[in-house]
Structure 1
Amino acid sequence: MKTMELVFLLIFFPVTLSVKHSLKFFFTISSGVKNFPDFVVVGLVDEVPMGYCDSISNTPEAKQDWSQKMIEDDPQHLEWYTQECLLNQFNHRVQIDILKQQLNQTEGVHIFQRMNGCEWDDETGEVNGFIQFGYDGEDFIAFDLKTLTWIAPKPQAVITKHKRDRDRALNERWKNFLTQQCPELVKRYMDLGKSSLLRTDLPSVSLLQKTPSSPVSCHATGFYPHRAMTFWRKDGEELHEDVEHGEILPNHDGSFQMSVDLNLSSVTPEDWRRYECVFHLSGVKDDIVTKLDKTVIRTNCVSPSEFPAGPVIGGVVGLLLLLAVCITGVFIWRRRDNGFRPAKSSDSLSSDPSSVKDAVLN
């Protein structure tokens, strides 16, 4: 009876899949890094870079047409970002200096990071806010929005936790930003940039393999949005063993790529036809299914029948002749110079600070 009721509900009241949209800010303070801004902040909407500021320019810069329109329509919005860029530089420099003192670090390169933002469910209206701090590549402290307290995963962060727990007024301001201001900003950005942020682009999917004994990688690139997943299945069932999932990575054109590897070392050639790669993109009804077929696998490995023996043999003979000439030259050079002198090289690399912005965003 319960099964029939469930079927009835699904038919007459279909479930609408909601989508979560996000706004995130990534702050980075560095100490001991040369030829690089010691403060950088990047803002992203649905993982798309929309704004940037650093300690060299001290001026927020819009990275999308819709984020530029937000500034043009609301000058106070630009003023708010400018103040945040300047104030956070000072605050985070103080914090990294305090941490270095607490940990007795006087030299070397050190990185202090902060990530904060929110997710908004466009169907249910549910909001989730978050603040996380990291130091030298490891989690340092995080904010618990429900209790308005801080979580310290390391003993070194306990002092900071107690200090932040006592600042109830600051924690209340964080709560207001994460649950009120941030979701409103997400909605405004989504409304201005819906033509690009709400689009769906399907990827091209390829099967790749380095050598005949390597895992087969199912690689999907060019899809948008980033809410996607790729997996292998056998006889219609998703596989979890002998499978390695890669991360979703950004492309230079704003789209994304990802891959999932399948280890076939224990699979007989006769069973290959039972495997297939599935790509699923959020908001798209039909999945992209790619059958495991040796004839469509792209590889750098050349079979013996395709090996260009003639040109290679000729090349080897040429290299042997060249080697003989070089050896003769070396003996002559050693006789004249009376010993080996290593070539001079420069250890310094030129760095253009103006190019840092694009490097951070790409």
Structure 2
Amino acid sequence: MKILVFLALLGLHSAAAVTHSLKYFYTASSQVPNFPEFVVVGMVDDGQMIHYDSNTMKAVAKRDWMNTFSADNPQYLAGQTDIFVGSQQWFKGNIEIAKQRFNQTGGVHVFQWMYGCEWDDVTQDASGFMQYGYDGEDFIVFDLKTLTWIAPKQQAVVTKQKWDESKAQSARYKNYITQECVDWLKKYLDYGRSSLMRTERPSTHSLLQKTPSSPVSCFATGFYPNRAEMYWRKDGHQIHEDVERGEILPNHDGSFQMSVELDVSKVAPEDWGKYECVFQLSGVKDDITIKLDVIRSKGGFPLVVIGVVVGVILLLLVVGIAGYFLWKNKKGKEGFKPASTSDSGSDNSLPLNQKA
């Protein structure tokens, strides 16, 4: 089983310039070394804004504008903490139920929940999602149109049948996804607009190679927003063969990183100068390019720079961004579930009273 660091479902959107999002990721795990048993991460426009884990037992604001929001809403973080503590017990029980369903005992297992909404500030269109994952794959997904659950796995059919009977709970989810979530997103945007609407070019843009036979990775980090493209081209034309594009990942400071690899095993040394890596950031006119032969001037494979990449990945784990283990079966905009919205300042919660 692979535990994936954030990723994937938070990719590019067609209406990138005007689409905003509020998303939450709950991750319960068993027997994962040196990692909290329960982690919650909240994100606005794919940047982490709140964090909770079972080690600290406390919701913490992760952005300066969220500190301002919390100061103006004194009960907010305490309310979020109460919700996450309650969710922690619910998830602990359900991971055990899932293990029984899959006839499992020990070993590493991960039970996840993702939910949220997206809102276009020009068209005013809104959409939302909710889904659960287990051990890297979809477990059960909420269908907003029919207000029923979809069970991709046979082991989730019992859960589907049980949850479909709770019409009131399904209606609650719909109301949160289509109305409350968007209302809270707008509040967050009002506080974080100066930060969320900024544009920053990459602070580092490098070509990396572990060994002479390894693919060359074009790596960029420190850019914002996450609406970016990176690709390889030869003689001025974009190429797709022997190219592997990585996902856009978050950094601890709210910026992003990404990479794209090129297999150079078939490229003759004298042709390296024909290849270049291109980075494009939405809202920025000028592209950033690096020619492939630049790497040769550093001895072919600058291991010191590779160490920077490793350090970035480790830093992601340390600061808790690894809290969103996303399953590989990407469903785009499907996934959501809050825990109990109230006037005391809890935006991301619905009663967690449904057992799998």
CA–CA separation in structure 1 for the residues paired with 2:296 and 2:252 = 27
How far does the alpha carbon of each residue in 1:291-335 deviate from its partner, in whole angstroms, 9 at most, with x for none?
A: 333576544559xxxxxxxxxxxxxxxxxxxxxxxxxxxxxxxxx
Give how far 1:56 is off.
Answer: 4.6
Amino acid paired to 2:87: N
Amino acid paired to 1:247: E
CA–CA separation in structure 1 for the residues paired with 2:242 and 2:33 = 43
The residue that corresponds to 1:339 in the other structure is none
**Which structure has the larger Rg?**
1
CA–CA separation in structure 2 for the residues paired with 1:294 and 1:166 = 62
CA–CA separation in structure 1 for the residues paired with 2:214 and 2:34 = 41
Change beyond 3 A, Cα 1:97–1:207: closer
CA–CA separation in structure 2 for the residues paired with 1:69 and 1:195 = 13
Instruction: Tell whether 2:165 aligns with 1:166.
Output: yes
Change beyond 3 A, Cα 1:87–1:231: same
Amino acid paired to 1:53: Y
Instruction: Tell whether 2:228 aligns with 1:225.
Output: no
The residue that corresponds to 2:344 in the other structure is none
Q: Secondary structure at the match of 2:320?
A: helix
Give how far 1:213 is off.
Answer: 4.0
Change beyond 3 A, Cα 1:112–1:211: closer
How far does the alpha carbon of each residue in 1:52-97 deviate from its partner, in whole angstroms, 9 at most, with x for none?
A: 2234544322122211222222245345423421331232233223
The residue that corresponds to 2:67 in the other structure is 68
Q: Secondary structure at the match of 1:193?
A: helix
Amino acid paired to 2:255: S
The residue that corresponds to 1:263 in the other structure is 263
Change beyond 3 A, Cα 1:161–1:263: same
Amino acid paired to 1:207: L
Greater RCO, CA 8 A, separation 6+ = 2
Mapped contact 1:278–1:289 kept (Cα < 8 A): yes
The residue that corresponds to 2:321 in the other structure is 361
Give how far 1:285 is off.
Answer: 2.3
Change beyond 3 A, Cα 1:296–1:266: closer
Superposition RMSD on alpha carbons, in Å? 2.9
| Structure 1: runs of 5 or more not aligned | 1-15, 303-355
Give how far 1:243 is off.
Answer: 0.6
| Structure 2: runs of 5 or more not aligned | 1-14, 303-315, 323-356
Q: Secondary structure at the match of 2:43?
A: strand
Change beyond 3 A, Cα 1:288–1:19: farther
Change beyond 3 A, Cα 1:165–1:295: closer
Change beyond 3 A, Cα 1:73–1:98: same
CA–CA separation in structure 2 for the residues paired with 1:150 and 1:28 = 20
Mapped contact 2:59–2:78 kept (Cα < 8 A): no
How far does the alpha carbon of each residue in 1:174-229 deviate from its partner, in whole angstroms, 9 at most, with x for none?
A: 11111111122222222212222221111132223344444332221221122211
Q: Secondary structure at the match of 1:119?
A: strand
Instruction: Tell whether 2:125 aligns with 1:126.
Output: yes
The residue that corresponds to 2:149 in the other structure is 150
The residue that corresponds to 1:30 in the other structure is 29
CA–CA separation in structure 2 for the residues paired with 1:53 and 1:268 = 50
CA–CA separation in structure 1 for the residues paired with 2:179 and 2:285 = 33
CA–CA separation in structure 1 for the residues paired with 2:238 and 2:167 = 48
Q: How does 1:143-222 map to 2 (within 5 A)?
A: 143-203=142-202, 204-222=204-222
The residue that corresponds to 2:283 in the other structure is 283
How far does the alpha carbon of each residue in 1:236-278 deviate from its partner, in whole angstroms, 9 at most, with x for none?
A: 3321111111222333443222211222333345544443221
TM-score (norm 2): 0.73
The residue that corresponds to 1:135 in the other structure is 134
Mapped contact 1:210–1:300 kept (Cα < 8 A): no
Amino acid paired to 2:291: K
Change beyond 3 A, Cα 1:296–1:193: farther
Q: Secondary structure at the match of 2:122?
A: coil
Amino acid paired to 2:220: A
TM-score (norm 1): 0.72
Mapped contact 2:60–2:77 kept (Cα < 8 A): no
Give how far 1:128 is off.
Answer: 2.2
Change beyond 3 A, Cα 1:60–1:274: same
Structure with the higher helix share, 1 or 2: 1
CA–CA separation in structure 2 for the residues paired with 1:218 and 1:178 = 38
Amino acid paired to 2:282: S
Give how far 1:281 is off.
Answer: 0.9
CA–CA separation in structure 2 for the residues paired with 1:264 and 1:104 = 45
Amino acid paired to 1:193: G
CA–CA separation in structure 1 for the residues paired with 2:252 and 2:35 = 22
CA–CA separation in structure 2 for the residues paired with 1:300 and 1:233 = 20
CA–CA separation in structure 2 for the residues paired with 1:46 and 1:17 = 10
The residue that corresponds to 2:87 in the other structure is 88
Q: Secondary structure at the match of 1:293?
A: helix
Change beyond 3 A, Cα 1:33–1:258: closer
Amino acid paired to 1:233: R
Amino acid paired to 1:74: N
